[in-house]
Chain A
Amino acid sequence: MAIQTKWKPSTILLIILFAIVSIIILFPLYAITLASLKPSTEIMRQGLNVRFDSHLFSMNNFVSVFEHPYYIRWYANSLLIAAIFTASSIILSAVVGYALAIYEFKGRNIIFVLVLVTLMLPTEIIILPLFKLMISFKMINTYWAVILPFVVAPLPIFFFRQYVTGLPKDFIDAGRIDGCTELGIFARIFVPLMLPAFGAMAILQAIGSWNNFLWPLIVLRANEKFTIPIGISTLLTPYGNNFDVLIAGSLVAILPLLILYIFFQRYFISGLTVGGVKG
């Protein structure tokens, strides 16, 4: 079996091409990693460069990240919001998508059209009335304001509906005959079958929550309530202070998703490419 396959010249050319493209794509991350190891004064005075000055390397910037009065707090906030948002979002959306796929009921088509309508209009259009609503709910500066308006999300509903439509329906009647409740049929029969969809949507919602910017920027007002992206953006001022926390902190902010990506790559790819292929 171990016969060496001979590569055609076109294969070698393609591999060289993609190796170059990959290096270009990864280069910004390399540059920021290198910068995170150098004294921030160096970056402030000289600008971001990729000189490999190993004598300057230290972990001081990462120490500053942990000593920063708020960074850890922002991180914890982001983790908490992402966990609550992701868990409730996939459960609620799965239930709705499941109902749209399984049951024939009056109003089903209208509801599905409404899902598509919310999907097709950018939420940026309604941030001001939503902001006003949050003020009247007295939710400004709370995590509820970040989570609640978007927790029932049209894209996962759409995805779950498509996914369940493709599943076999033979078990439903068997379940009913055996005395299963309607919710039991969902929880015991369909949830196990829907696990890959749950994985993909969990990743989609977790990335969305972890990286979300505009809405938390509007509703979170106090430093100790900020999420990681909002916190990092406050470090970036036109006067350029706090470079140490900014650079090392940006890098630390990528870590959770990078670690998840290494283990659950499949779900990242299916989660972020929802709708690309139907059925």
Chain B
Amino acid sequence: MNTKFAVDASTSIPRSSFWRSLPYSKKLAPYILVSPFIISFLIFFAYPVINTVIMSFQEILPGQVKYVGTENYENLTNRQFYRAMYNSAVYTVLTLLVLIPVPLIFAVLLNSKAMRFTNFFRSTLFIPALTSVVVAGTIFRLIFGELPGSLMNEFLSLFNVAPANFKQSAPLAMFIMVILATWRWIGINIIYFLSGLQNIPHELYESAEIDGANAMDKFLKITLPLLKPVTIYVLTISIYGGFAMFTESYMLFAGNNSPKDIGLTIVGYIYKSGIQKNELGFGSAIGITLLGIVLIINVIQLKFFGLFRKED
């Protein structure tokens, strides 16, 4: 392969000057073109990853760094850390339970032959995705405000439910964060599933009909199996989004502090330790734990689904 390129380069361009032939070099061009990625990868990814591993064994004070062995990791065994892990895990599982089946069913309905105005509804349901978590969080914070006249409390009063202070209760706060995520993501996930559905050949359904399959058979035996790649993709980004959650909680509690840490997430804990308390070493140990979780999820996924098997 390489010799072919070398011959090409030397025959088509006279070797009068290196600089003149440089723009025509098929050998060098790819390296010049990928250099932005290599530089960015080394400085802003590889170095920080290595550095965070090192930092997690250090105590970093201004002007003075000392190695503390595994002390940062030992300090992880505290109530706040468990709470952060618990919140992130519960949030991730709940968002998965809502944000995969519901958009899937909506997409199937939108894609059904009987449906009209599919594009109109698809566009409408997508609008919340345009709002930032900050803006959406502001809105939901007000809807679930603690005043009796706030929207949700007023709604509950129709059913004679006493006004609630949503931000004082762990399950209710979690509920609001999941609702917020659902609101922002439902339209995007519907589009994922819709594009997956539109890639399923019609002939499959037609021949299934000839064989006497009913709507349920077709859904279970054709639609669901063929949506597997899209579902895995949505699953993946939802898991990452779940464990990386921070802003939803930050907005709901107007800052990174919540009563009894009911809104603390893993990333929130990294921010609290590393940035707010300036304990970069301990914060890095939390970051490494998150890295570990993500790697485990990756391995499980590659084992069960072979996510990028088709790629190479």
Contacts and interface: CB of A to CB of B under 8 A. Distances in A.
Contact of A95 (B33, B126, B134): B33
21 contacts: A21-B125, A25-B128, A29-B128, A47-B151, A122-B290, A124-B246, A125-B294, A181-B23, A182-B29, A183-B29, A211-B132, A211-B134, A229-B132, A229-B133, A237-B254, A253-B134, A269-B122, A273-B192, A275-B233, A277-B230, A278-B229
Contact of A122 (B141, B234, B243): B243
Residue in A102, A232, A233, A237 with the greatest tally of chain B CB atoms within 10 Å: A233
Residue in A99, A116, A149 with the greatest tally of chain B CB atoms within 10 Å: A99
Contacts of A92: 36-37
Interface string A1-17: 00000011011001101
Given A124-B267, A182-B24, A46 B147 contact: yes
A181 B61 CA distance: 53
Contact of A125 (B126, B132, B139, B287): B287
Residue in B38, B48, B109, B255 with the greatest tally of chain A CB atoms within 10 Å: B48
B33 A273 contact: no
Interface of A: 7-8, 10-11, 14-15, 17-18, 21-22, 25-26, 28-29, 31-32, 35, 43, 45-50, 92, 95-96, 98-100, 102-106, 108-109, 111, 114-116, 118, 120-122, 124-133, 148-152, 157, 176, 181-184, 186, 207, 210-211, 213-214, 218, 228-229, 232-233, 236-238, 246-247, 250-251, 253-254, 257-258, 261, 265, 268-269, 272-273, 275-278
A31 B151 contact: yes
Interface stretch (B90-98, B111-119, B204-212, B218-226): B111-119
Interface of B: 1-2, 12, 23-27, 29-31, 33-34, 36-41, 43-45, 47-49, 51-52, 55, 106, 109-110, 112, 114-117, 121-136, 138-143, 145-151, 153-154, 183, 186-188, 191-192, 195-196, 199, 229-230, 233-234, 240, 243-244, 246-247, 250-251, 254-255, 267, 270-271, 274-275, 280, 283-284, 287-288, 290-291, 294, 298, 308, 310, 312
Given A11-B114, A28-B136, A176-B26, 20 more contacts: A14-B112, A14-B114, A18-B115, A25-B183, A46-B147, A49-B150, A103-B26, A114-B41, A125-B290, A125-B291, A181-B24, A182-B29, A183-B29, A228-B132, A269-B122, A269-B126, A276-B192, A277-B195, A277-B196, A278-B310
A173 to B, nearest CB: 10
A275 B240 CA distance: 15
B199 A277 contact: yes
A90 to B, nearest CB: 12
B29 A99 contact: yes
Nearest to A19: B121
A10 B109 CA distance: 10
B191 A32 contact: no
B140 to A, nearest CB: 7
Contacts of B135: 229, 232, 250-251, 253-254
A199 B214 CA distance: 41
B191 A152 contact: no
Contacts of B288: 125
A104 B1 contact: yes
